[in-house]
Structure 1
Amino acid sequence: MPTYQYACTECGHAFDQFQSFSEASLTECPECSGKLRKVFSAAGVVFKGSGFYRTDSRSGSTTSSSSDSSSSSTSAPAPAAASSSSD
């Protein structure tokens, strides 16, 4: 069963509650009978296996794009180098 975090909008009381997915959300604060809201937080995620690092994924396309950019940068200085060598 998942654990849900609730916080009261009136008194600020915060607590955790084990509830099944099919159960209705709590709406009343147990301390002051005020209105409750669910508190959402980031979930912990662990990626295992290959393909999650920059060096693992799309190694073929990364090489071609870096060779394309190096070719274009190499072709741009070539005329400048050729004109300076002829002077």
Structure 2
Amino acid sequence: MRWRLLVIEAWLVQRLLASPTFHRAVRRVHKRVEEARRGEKLYDPSEMGGTQVDAPSGWSLQKFIQNFREELKDQFRGATKK
């Protein structure tokens, strides 16, 4: 009976450690503890906003299609932009 509890406990611990939510919570707690110990605010690049590599604000499908057509026309003409 005891070994069943140990197996269940190991499974639960493994699921917890694989959870991104758990890691975010631990990171936040660690940051607050370190700030309290040092007495200063720690630098966190994720709070700065970063770059918008995946979805830039000026991106649209129409602009993409227009630029794609222009590139194809330039390639057929033999003129390349570098």
TM-score (norm 2): 0.30
TM-score (norm 1): 0.29
Q: Relative contact order: is structure 1 or structure 2 higher (C-alpha 8 Å, sep ≥ 6)?
A: 1
Larger strand fraction of residues: 1
- Which structure: larger Rg? 1
Larger helix fraction of residues: 2
